[in-house]
Structure 1
């Protein structure tokens, strides 16, 4: 955190994501005293003229004024320099050598991409999709009237804020970056630029594009929100391009029962193979959205009633086999997202539980991936020393070790221990357990002498706190004997002591 500076002005704080051509960071603009999103072009695409091309598109995108288009603040090239270890908040000296990077800075949007929403919640309620579709039309109308095409409308390029405001990313910039990746000029004829699952037929053919190509991509996006995947699914690029050009999309109401005819007909019109058969502009799409009937509303339980019901369903997890628990937790996660939102502590706890049961049923690498993202999200929302964050960090180390990476687990535990001791106290039983987990992972990673040293110091502290005859102290002594034999290279191979329940992750929540 805070280890890098860009152009002597932007302090890079947290990596938010990456794509094929760029990496996005949350950063602090120290001149304007605000947080921004910084998109860094990857080194392999920083070809001669890259900055000029990107600047050309960024200037155009920066002139688009809409509450539904992410604002572009700045662009250019500048040195990417490492901060001084002892003073990460002070920019490097101006004449320090650094790597020149091409970048664009943009408005930082608090919320989720529609790709994340689809992953968590699809298929989505019709009313929500209609609201977002109208906002997307507003963004497209502003851009198209200014003569700007997006060329890469897809869920990953659309954000929704915590208040339900839709914002489209990368107008123009998407085209520039794709062009750089293709090693072409901005006007290269016959180039296929975009994302295959959402690409219009004319885009797939490398033909000339207009606003109706963005509308086709918007139709693919709406189809995915309502059905759960784009009209031709995902797969190999040549197969997807062929389907966009030659295969008719499945009629939406066949995939999702109860979808109003007006909505299904609009989506099929947006997905027409020939641009002349589609709505001719975003305003026409918005007018058709306005007459789509909503299903009759039914009384919804209050938030407190929903919260009580979710707590009851969480209680029922206790004692379930892992397979059944994982299925239920995935449903519960969607419900928690709908009731509490992604950043609520209860939602974060459900994600932690899901990772735990994924690990129990043998999907340890997946549990690790879920926990890595959870640790990032908990740190952003709650802080590195919050109890939920500490538990997620500890569980990440546990399942990392179980996934066969004890060295990485030892590193994670070494980073965790100071924060854990600061919150719980150095003599707390849980802090002692973390120290023990660190010693065991250190030994399993191959540093046997260090494991012995850690265990000897730990046993003395455990005996002082718990008493010399406590079962945890006795178990730690058995572990020390094992690693001591390994360290001495006596040739005697002892079986590693069976891990006791104390070396498992932090206590599970059942409510």
Structure 2
């Protein structure tokens, strides 16, 4: 299992940051996807123990891949997105979207086990029913639905987690069971009667478990709230539940009927499917609108979840005795010795463990095996292992730097990482993984603060260190080389970026296979870079192939598939095939809205590109309508000064200009530029784009002297930040030359055009 988040990279891509949960099947870490620069959650399953023979282990690994593919193919706003999966050093892992919110178990605990407000319970019921309807229509059964597996995000969205994991846990042996049973054991409080008896389960078993969840949310306790697991199981199988309204009178009658129908003992007596359940909830909600938010009141002690230790004896159940003359109901052998465990929390509440509280990845270091270059043992006179308190302090400071980055305070984060890197180099050595991890973070912060040249120098240093210590084909080395290629592209050095992407891709294809997510990601980046080299047809063909491969491996509406289709659309636009680009962008936007929600950043980004395409097709009136709606949504979701809100406003201004409304366009450009300068800085690329748009508007209004001043400001800033030969700088110099022509200063314009041509020729021949 991972031991420390600040140095551990999974497959050279996912940097584990801090432990956010530990349960019976493994651990969940907050992590950063280094390839895409996004925060994710990584679930690391417990390593397979030596008690399993190799043949069994192979079967489980294959089963894991199959279950993970199924989970990754689920695309619904109510289902946690699975981005990736694989195996690293014997640990099977899943990479999922990082959810900000609380699971329903935690919400109950926050509320001191009092029931949740009625409107919240009904809203949760409707959202979960929608998600279950989707998954059941795909032929997938969750098998372990409980409050701890349902998250409510900060915006109110409800998501189901861990599809496929319960069944996998059964196979690997993480759950409470005996062998030779065909059942995925969940927490006893939420198990269906057919699941308890060992019979085959289908989607109606999930509906029963969901009924138990709703019962607890509405009353503060599950339907059979007993201390003895054996008694709980018998209750599920043989005892009719007490109607929820008897415990809480303000519950609507329709809700009471729905929950009791879900808790029917026989599957045929429950709602036919989750779609029908959703319709019943919606109809009841419409007929019984809630006039006010329910304020939880103190409930009687018998409604609260008990915390008594489980009884030691298992042959006698508590609660009701069987009727005289009726034989004691029998249960499968696997139920003997079961304990109640926690109700809503399953394995207990998630423990927030800071990385510096975990042992192991600092101090003495042995690189992982597997054909990688060994490290020569340290001589007796080598640097001594630093005291643990020194290492712990450095880990804590490293984590502080990561936290600053999460807040977008990249300059401060860079200062922290730079200081930690220097101290780690002093006490651990230049090639120690911790030192290189800090150097990597320095590079990352530099690339985020518009300093790609400095980032490249830092990444180069990390790559050289990792190659010495781990070998050129180690995944950590490949990861940093891919970041080098990215910043080379930022610098406009696309030919070198192409060479580096190509070399990394060759290793990834040979070692991981052509369809591995990391291989496909590298191919995606290569396609992106080909378009920047002007090789548009090659870029289009490669992006199209990657999109097809991702659709085959991950599913056609998986976020990664849609990212590549987005790139396909971009290249179509560059090829002038705007009708096809518009259609593709629209399809991506619609798919993202269905899978991720209308307000998801990726959905909004695709809508922005639809506006770009409409403008390019001369459909400025439609583009203006789209941008106005997008600005409203962006401002509502992100705020009026958010960079993406300002980007939409920029698009609005451009299309005002296309309609000849230059006074309005100029006013919009000036307003956006002022906000960008205040929020992003005077030399930020977006600020400079707005300043150029001011110059364009001034030119169209015939104010060429003012336009020249603005164009020169942009060109000087780009030259200072990007270099004289960067394509954006050269484009600005061309703007400046055109402006000189309009002012009748032909000789100066010709001299500037010649200078730009010489610099472009120099770049084309690689002499930059």
Q: TM-score, normalised by structure 2?
A: 0.36
Q: Counterparts of 1:196-275 in structure 2 under 5 Å?
A: 196-233=188-225, 235-275=227-267
Determine the structure 1 residue equivalent to 2:80.
Answer: 70
Count of residues paired in the alignment? 297
| Compared CA separation, residues 236 and 300, structure 1 to 2 (3 A) | closer
Structure with the higher helix share, 1 or 2? 2
1:20-66 deviation per Cα after TM superposition (whole angstroms, max 9, x unaligned): 11211111111222111111111256851332111111111111110
| Compared CA separation, residues 178 and 189, structure 1 to 2 (3 A) | closer
> Equivalents in 2 of 1:149, 1:226: separation in Å?
24
Pair 1:148 & 2:152 matched? no
1:480-506 deviation per Cα after TM superposition (whole angstroms, max 9, x unaligned): xxxxxxxxxxxxxxxxxxxxxxxxxxx
Q: 1:116 aligns with which of 100, 106, 109?
A: 106
| Compared CA separation, residues 239 and 28, structure 1 to 2 (3 A) | same
> Equivalents in 2 of 1:227, 1:170: separation in Å?
25
Q: Could you tell me how far 1:269 is from its partner in structure 2?
A: 0.5
1:451-480 deviation per Cα after TM superposition (whole angstroms, max 9, x unaligned): xxxxxxxxxxxxxxxxxxxxxxxxxxxxxx
> Equivalents in 1 of 2:25, 2:71: separation in Å?
18
1:304-351 deviation per Cα after TM superposition (whole angstroms, max 9, x unaligned): xxxxxxxxxxxxxxxxxxxxxxxxxxxxxxxxxxxxxxxxxxxxxxxx
> Equivalents in 2 of 1:146, 1:175: separation in Å?
16
Determine the structure 1 residue equivalent to 2:744.
Answer: none
Structure with the higher strand share, 1 or 2? 1
- 1:220–1:231: 8 Å Cα contact kept in structure 2? yes
| Compared CA separation, residues 41 and 226, structure 1 to 2 (3 A) | same
1:168-209 deviation per Cα after TM superposition (whole angstroms, max 9, x unaligned): 111112211232126999x97533522211000000111001
Pair 1:283 & 2:283 matched? no
- 1:69–1:168: 8 Å Cα contact kept in structure 2? yes
Secondary structure in 1 aligned to 2:20? strand
Report which of the two structures shows the higher radius of gyration computed on alpha carbons: 2
Determine the structure 2 residue equivalent to 1:33.
Answer: 37
- 2:191–2:209: 8 Å Cα contact kept in structure 1? yes
- 2:15–2:34: 8 Å Cα contact kept in structure 1? yes
- 2:169–2:175: 8 Å Cα contact kept in structure 1? no
In the alignment, structure 1 segments of 5+ residues that lack a partner are 80-99, 302-368, 377-409, 423-511
| Compared CA separation, residues 40 and 211, structure 1 to 2 (3 A) | same
Determine the structure 1 residue equivalent to 2:46.
Answer: 42
> Equivalents in 2 of 1:217, 1:296: separation in Å?
26
Determine the structure 2 residue equivalent to 1:57.
Answer: 67
RMSD: 3.4
Determine the structure 1 residue equivalent to 2:168.
Answer: 176
Secondary structure in 2 aligned to 1:43? coil
Q: Could you tell me how far 1:109 is from its partner in structure 2?
A: 0.9
| Compared CA separation, residues 203 and 141, structure 1 to 2 (3 A) | same
Determine the structure 1 residue equivalent to 2:21.
Answer: 17
Q: Could you tell me how far 1:237 is from its partner in structure 2?
A: 2.7
Which 4+ runs in 1 deviate beyond 6 A? none
Determine the structure 1 residue equivalent to 2:676.
Answer: none
| Compared CA separation, residues 158 and 296, structure 1 to 2 (3 A) | closer
| Compared CA separation, residues 197 and 183, structure 1 to 2 (3 A) | closer
| Compared CA separation, residues 234 and 137, structure 1 to 2 (3 A) | same
- 1:11–1:30: 8 Å Cα contact kept in structure 2? yes
> Equivalents in 1 of 2:228, 2:96: separation in Å?
32
| Compared CA separation, residues 261 and 15, structure 1 to 2 (3 A) | same
Q: Counterparts of 1:124-135 in structure 2 under 5 Å?
A: 124-135=116-127
| Compared CA separation, residues 299 and 103, structure 1 to 2 (3 A) | closer
In the alignment, structure 2 segments of 5+ residues that lack a partner are 296-347, 355-387, 401-768
> Equivalents in 1 of 2:294, 2:69: separation in Å?
47
